[in-house]
Chains A and B, each alone.
Chain A
């Protein structure tokens, strides 16, 4: 479904990603784990078109999307829920969610999708007319996820969904991600919270200093010595 082949990418003269390859199949939950600064966020930004690869190719459903702008990849069905929520602070929760359904294929269904999404996040129903900036961090993360779902994506990418949240909220976020995956949406998660993420995923990649060093089934990675030592502290 999504295939990244031998991609190099970075900002200005700084190279962040080197020779990255990965693939995600329909219905899978795939995770990319790695330490802070490994290049995880840059990888998701490159897939979504916010950063352009220098070499290599990205294809989605068999079509080349390497040079597409961010707003075009959304129209193809690729949605990124960015790190740190990135809500529209002075817009209401409702307007934030409606912005999620801005892309062409989601517009016509926006009322139905809003209804479905609010079933999944009942607490947001009470918050619809509040400004996004007035919500707690956990609620903001829920809005960010709900906004991503409003685009009716084929693949939903999460960038550090647990960042800055209390442990109990982190568990809720991963429950929600499991529910999203259960609806058949393909999921790609980037996380520092390695244990939680590998538990939730089918397969995983380990990114270190801009290079893929490991790739295996999530269960196998949980048993992997290197992963256990470097990321799980076992």
Chain B
């Protein structure tokens, strides 16, 4: 029983980690309608920035989030403005997807050029120490990640529901032409949203860096899992991405222990395929197309 509880705890903590990557991905998809394949590389860039800032200035890696999240906001906003927006008139959304795949490869190789293939270890500053919750052992860093993921989801939901800008973002996603007729600058909304989605993963990268070694390919692993979480939760749903991430974290941990650690990803991606076949709208997705009202 203790082992089981420990594995469930590990799974939930892992889920929190996936969630903090998945939230930005689902935000960008839900609003801008672009699948950002470079999201994992945004995480990688954020982790390197955290590594550089925390070692260079000898500060706690969490504190670097104050610089890393804004930096990633700029990276995301520039991606939308310089890469996606010129392709939006192409009328073929596949072009935009390929563009983000290209950006992903470019960033990965840029990191390889700058940092080499060796891993970079961000100093832990105590976040790898364990705490006991009853019989269960958890890294303090994992608890911070989990708490941050919850706050991020709640914060984003409040922002989207209660602020004028948040409402404008939702309106643009639901009916772009009507949003323009309300005086909303749709291009600006897309730039802002892409920036916000990237800033979310920027925040995540400062929390993840002291737990995982940073390498140019670190993003690939996280982003694939994050896609599964996003699809499970329902594309574009922020709470969906969070709960999807918890489920995938649990599945990952439980299957790793009871089925075999080599087969964890096989189980996760089998579930991914099953969702796509059986319930493509996911757990929280209402419908795929939000752009019309019935007459």
Give the B-binding residues of A (Cβ under 8 A).
Answer: 48, 50, 69-71, 74-75, 79-80, 82, 84-91, 95, 98-100, 102-104, 107, 132-133, 137, 140, 147, 151, 164
7 A-B pairs besides A85-B293, A91-B170 with CB distance below 8 A are A69-B180, A71-B184, A82-B181, A88-B170, A99-B171, A99-B182, A133-B294
- Nearest first, the 6 closest Cβ-Cβ pairs linking A and B are A103-B183, A74-B183, A86-B178, A70-B180, A88-B174, A89-B293
- Let me know if B167 and A99 touch, CB within 8 A: yes
Which range holds the interface residue count of chain B?
20 to 34
Contact of A102 among B175, B182, B293, B295 (CB under 8 A): B182
Q: What B residues does A89 contact at CB under 8 A?
A: 174-175, 290, 292-293
If A86-B293, A164-B295 touch, does A50 touch B177 (CB 8 Å cutoff)? yes
Closest to A80 in B: B181
B130 interface hit (Cβ, 8 Å): no
Q: Shortest Cβ distance from B154 into chain A, in angstroms?
A: 19
Interface residues of B in 136-165 (CB under 8 A from A): 164
Question: Can you give 25 contacting A-B residue pairs, CB < 8 Å?
Answer: A50-B180, A70-B180, A71-B184, A71-B185, A74-B181, A74-B183, A75-B183, A79-B181, A80-B181, A82-B181, A86-B175, A86-B181, A87-B293, A88-B178, A89-B175, A90-B286, A91-B174, A95-B170, A95-B171, A98-B167, A99-B168, A107-B164, A147-B182, A151-B182, A164-B295
Name the B residues within 8 Å of A86 (CB-CB): 175, 177-178, 181, 293
- Which of B164, B174, B183, B185: most chain A CB closer than 10 A? B183
Minimal Cβ-Cβ distance residue in B for A76: B183
CA distance A84 to B184 in the complex (A): 19
In the assembly, what is the distance between CA of A81 and CA of B170, in Å?
A: 19
Contacts of A104 in B (CB 8 A): 183
Give CA–CA (A96, B164) in the complex, Å. Answer: 11
A74 contacts across to B, CB distance below 8 A: 181-183
Q: Find chain A residues with CB under 8 A from B178 CB.
A: 82, 86-88
Residues of B within 8 A of A80 (CB): 181
Question: Across the two chains, which residue of chain B brings its CB closest to A74?
Answer: B183
In the complex, whether B93 has a CB less than 8 A from a CB of chain A is no
> Which A residues are CB-close (under 8 A) to B168?
99, 102
Residues of B at under 8 Å CB distance from A?
Answer: 164, 167-168, 170-171, 174-175, 177-186, 286, 290, 292-295
| Bound form: Cα–Cα A82–B182 in Å | 11
- Of chain B, the residue at the smallest CB distance from A98 is B167
Cα distance A70–B181 in the bound complex, in angstroms: 6
Residue from A69, A90, A151 having most chain B Cβ neighbours under 10 A? A90
Instruction: Provide the residues of chain A in CB contact with B292, threshold 8 Å.
Output: 89
Query: Judging by beta carbons under 8 Å apart, are A95 and B293 in contact?
Result: no
Closest partner residue, chain A, to B185 (CB atom): A71
CA of A213 to CA of B171, assembled, Å: 38
Provide the residues of chain B in CB contact with A103, threshold 8 Å. 182-183
> B293, A133: Cβ atoms under 8 Å?
yes
Q: Which residue of A lies closest to B172 (CB)?
A: A88
Q: How far is the CA of A140 from the CA of B294 in the complex (A)?
A: 10
Residues of B within 8 A of A140 (CB): 293
Question: In the assembly, what is the distance between CA of A144 and CA of B120, in Å?
Answer: 56
Beta-carbon contact of B177 and A100 below 8 Å: no
Cα A79 to Cα B183 in complex, Å, equals 9
Q: Which residues of B contact A107 (CB under 8 A)?
A: 164
Q: B294 contacts which chain A residues (CB < 8 A)? A: 133
Which listed residue, A71, A95, A100, touches B180 by the CB 8 Å rule?
A71
One of B179, B181, B286 near A48 (C-beta < 8 A): B181
CA distance A66 to B170 in the complex (A): 29
- Structural contact, A102 and B177, CB atoms closer than 8 A: no
Shortest CB-to-CB span from B256 to chain A, Å, is: 38
Set of chain B residues within 8 Å of A82, measured between Cβ atoms: 177-178, 181
Give the residue among B171, B292, B293, B294 with the most A Cβ atoms within 10 A: B293
Q: For residue A95, which residues in chain B have a CB less than 8 angstroms away from its CB?
A: 167, 170-171
A84 to B295, CA, bound (A): 6
Q: Which chain B residue lies CB-closest to A143?
A: B293
